[in-house]
Structure 1
Amino acid sequence: MRQKPVNEVVMTFLSRSANEGFARTAAACFVAQLDPTLDEVNDVKTAVSEAVTNAIVHAYPQTLGKITLRLRLFGDQTVEILVKDNGVGIEDVDRAREPLYTTGNEERSGMGFTIMESFMDRVRVRSTPGKGTMVVLSKQIARRVGLPV
């Protein structure tokens, strides 16, 4: 059974590209409570940026929609980040997670999930076509010497 979070925040924003930077900065500020290294903060920011950008570009290709970002901290120094949309969904999640696969235009690299997986300890994806996608990113932040447990 998963432990209860020691802190949590939930926010919802429109799928405007300007909000990607907001989500990335909010995640970095929230995870700062765990006293992460700069590399750990950058890992979180990069993964959040990819997840939110995927939602902006792919979930709502012809319209604006809502994206939910939930950030949770656990007592074992783990941060869990949920990025959820109610957009078009992903037809084949396994294929979408393959490097270089994209449903976007030629400007899209198809590396979003690969990047998320390289910077986080765990990436879970659930999607239903026509109903949306949920990406859950998890990373354990190393405890700093001398900090209280």
Structure 2
Amino acid sequence: MQLDFVSKSENESFARVVVAAFASQLDPTLDELADIKTAVSEAVTNAIIHGYENTVGIIRISSKLYEDKVVITIQDWGKGIEDIEKARQPLWTSKPELERSGMGFTIMEDFMDELKVDSTPGEGTVVTMVKNINKGTVRQTT
């Protein structure tokens, strides 16, 4: 699944619902779906606020389903991240004047099973997240 949309804040909720609907094919628990939606929200919000700042650009979400996991990639072609390790630190934000919490990457990391961030200043950022579905659980069927 691939979806391109304009980097406007009103599209954040649309993006999270689309990815959750796509992932629902794996029959995740409500908690797993909530985790996916939260992580997607954080990644999309980062692209809008930090990647494109006061400009409008395109955000691309790509998602693939596997037997027991969903892989979600969120890409922007914005300004990129100068120091990824610093940006991944809890409570660090490049936009303190906007009252940002600096917890975006921390939340993504906590809610997903894998998180990879690739970024090139001046070219954009790619965030890849993996959520294992039904990890260690047995579902009853009727």
TM range (shorter): over 0.9
> Partner of 2:70 in structure 1?
79
Ranges of 4+ aligned residues in structure 1 off by more than 2 Å: 143-147
> Partner of 1:31 in structure 2?
23
> Partner of 2:81 in structure 1?
90
Q: Where does structure 2 lack aligned partners over 5 or more consecutive residues? A: none
Q: Where does structure 1 lack aligned partners over 5 or more consecutive residues? A: 1-8
Equivalent-residue separation in structure 1 for 2:112 and 2:76 (angstroms)? 20
- 2:96 is paired with a residue of what secondary structure? coil
What's the % identity of the aligned pairs? 54
Tell me by how many angstroms 1:99 deviates.
Answer: 0.3
Tell me by how many angstroms 1:105 deviates.
Answer: 3.1
Give deviations 1:101-123, integer Å, cap 9, x for gaps: 11113310000000000000000
* TM-score of the superposed pair, with normalisation by structure 2: 0.94
After TM superposition, list the pairs within 5 Å mapping 1:9-20 onto structure 2. Answer: 9-20=1-12
Whether the aligned pair in 2 keeps the contact of 1:35 and 1:144 (CA below 8 Å) is no
Provide the aligned length of Structure 1 versus Structure 2: 138
1:145 to 129, 139, 142: 139
> Partner of 1:4 in structure 2?
none
Amino acid at match of 1:56: I
Equivalent-residue separation in structure 2 for 1:61 and 1:105 (angstroms)? 13
Confirm or deny that 1:50 pairs with 2:42: yes
> Partner of 1:120 in structure 2?
112
Tell me by how many angstroms 1:146 deviates.
Answer: 5.0
Tell me by how many angstroms 1:71 deviates.
Answer: 1.0
> Partner of 1:100 in structure 2?
91
